[in-house]
Structure 1
Amino acid sequence: MNDAARLTAWVRGRVQGVGFRWFTRANALEIGGLTGFALNLDDGRVQIVAEGPRENCHRLLEWLRSDDTPGRVDGVTEIWDTPRGGYEGFAIR
């Protein structure tokens, strides 16, 4: 169950200008074992790519859907894939 996975999530709501990417990175680092990035998109969403143990990716996704995030999350869309690698740490883009 703890095989490696790649989570790509798009978070919509009031998620730009509220520290959302910073808190996402902090949470990914706290969970541990995750690499990837958080990026503001032109349409107001934030895109998150996280690679690492599947269970850790699920924990990050649960946090994205929780009431613990900054701003206001109206919804999260996610897709799962196999890791592609190439990330060092977890970046804010």
Structure 2
Amino acid sequence: MRKVRMIASGRVQGVGFRWSVQFLAAEIGDIYGRVWNNEDGTVTILANSDSSEKLSQFIHEIRKGPSRAAKVSYLDVTLGSFEPFTDFQVKHM
């Protein structure tokens, strides 16, 4: 199981970014996690998958910006250390 923590910067709040991330995870399949807005204007994504290939594809698509209005200027990706998720949810803060 691979787990990653991503922090997306740029135009990522107020543009449907979190919902697009959730949709992308479902579209690729076998991607589970959480996504939420941060007070500093960034978005955090925790994701896990049994498929390294699918997780790499997910990260690649996030870098491109999964919604038409979003623009990811920087994506920090690190290894995650969290309990694996079994679904993908948008957290409301």
TM-score norm. by structure 1 comes to 0.86
- The percentage of counterpart residues that share the same residue type is 28
Q: Which runs of 5+ in 2 are unaligned?
A: none
Rounded to whole Å, the distance in 1 between the matches of 2:35 and 2:71 is 16
Q: How many residues matched?
A: 89
Displacement of 1:67: 5.2
State whether residues 16 and 40 of structure 1, in contact with CA within 8 Å, keep that contact through their aligned partners in structure 2: yes
Aligned to 2:70: 71
Aligned to 1:10: 7
Q: Which runs of 5+ in 1 are unaligned?
A: none
Please identify runs of 4+ aligned residues in structure 1 that moved more than 2 A. 67-70, 81-84
Give the 3 Å change call, closer, same or farther, for CA 12–39 of structure 1 in structure 2.
Answer: same
Displacement of 1:48: 0.5
Rounded to whole Å, the distance in 2 between the matches of 1:68 and 1:24 is 6
State whether residues 9 and 49 of structure 1, in contact with CA within 8 Å, keep that contact through their aligned partners in structure 2: yes
* RMSD of Structure 2 on Structure 1 (CA): 1.6
Return 34-43 or 64-73, whichever deviates more. Answer: 64-73
Residue pairs, 1:9-88, within 5 angstroms: 9-52=6-49, 53-66=51-64, 68-69=66-67, 70-81=69-80, 84-85=83-84, 87-88=85-86
TM-score norm. by structure 2 comes to 0.86
The counterpart of 1:90, out of the listed 81, 88, 91, is 88
